[in-house]
Amino acid sequence: MVFEQRYTWGRAYRDGSLVCGRVHVTFRRDDRLGLAAHERRYVVARFLDRLHPTLRSELEELARRRGAAARRAAERMEPIVIVVDDPRHGRDRIVGRLEPPQRRRGDLRDVEFGLREPTS
């Protein structure tokens, strides 16, 4: 059962360069027993405005592929940094790799991509 869910806005960067000016970020926290600390937080991102052409093509490819092909495409992508400025929770910097979306319907701006954070 999901214990907490919150929404905020952020920006996405790669190698210090802005690659998306507006990202809708959803944080979900799961308090089920048996989950490690890094498994409790799940981040979902929708890329809305001012997409860099390279990121746009990567997201389109990731949304188009299925199964193992989608996982391989996600692994080839460079990590992404999402910076959020939440008035209630402060600034947060999330570094991770994008995951294939669960639902692929609609425009690219409607597709939600999971963000897998490193486990260290």
pLDDT 10s digits, 4-53:
667 789 999 999 999 999 999 988 776 666 656 555 678 899 999 889 99
* Torsion 86-106-101-28 (CA) sign: positive
Q: How far apart are CA 53 and CA 37, in angstroms?
A: 35
Q: Rounded distance, CA 31 to CA 41, Å?
A: 9
Q: Which domain holds residue 34?
A: 2-116
**Count of structural domains within the chain:** 1
Q: What does the pLDDT look like over 49-91, one tens digit per residue?
A: 889 999 999 999 998 888 899 899 899 999 999 999 877 777 8
How far apart (Å, rounded) are the C-alpha atoms in residues 88 and 76?
35
CB 97 within 8 A of CB 16: no
> pTM for the full model?
0.81
Residues 39 and 56: their CA atoms lie apart, in Å, by 28
